[in-house]
Amino acid sequence: MGLFVAKPIKPGMELVKLEGDYKTREVRLNGNILSPERSLKVRNHSPDGFSWGYSGSGCSQLALAILLECMSEKESVKHYQNLKANVIQWLPESDFTTVIDVLEKIKILSHY
């Protein structure tokens, strides 16, 4: 039987603190404003920006933007729908603050 090894995450990004302002749709990742611009260039799900609390396009955009800060673009594209399904769609449709373990929530395990 082989070992399960986690894919690489950028140093210091294993745990991330997310804060969302529901009225403005502004999201902070570890205290810094998260822009949708980079994620929109990779996959254009929601040109209107981020959202959370349901399973829609704004949630996909937010999940992708978060992972692009935590790992490579290739790994982000591969796993952002898992983050959306496991975290983003379950956030309250209101202001929120949460800390997530990125590897745990997207379940990136590879069998070697």
Q: Where are the domains of the chain?
A: 4-111
Q: What are residue 26's DSSP bridge partners?
A: 21
Q: How far apart are CA 50 and CA 6, in angstroms?
A: 28
Tokens for 18?
């997310």
pLDDT digits (tens, 9 = 90+) for 81-100: 999 998 999 999 999 999 99
Q: Please tell me the pTM assigned to this model.
A: 0.86
Q: What are residue 96's DSSP bridge partners?
A: 20
Q: Residue 8's pLDDT is what?
A: 66
Q: How far apart are CA 48 and CA 46, in angstroms?
A: 5
Using pLDDT thresholds of 50, 70 and 90, give the confidence band for residue 13. Answer: confident
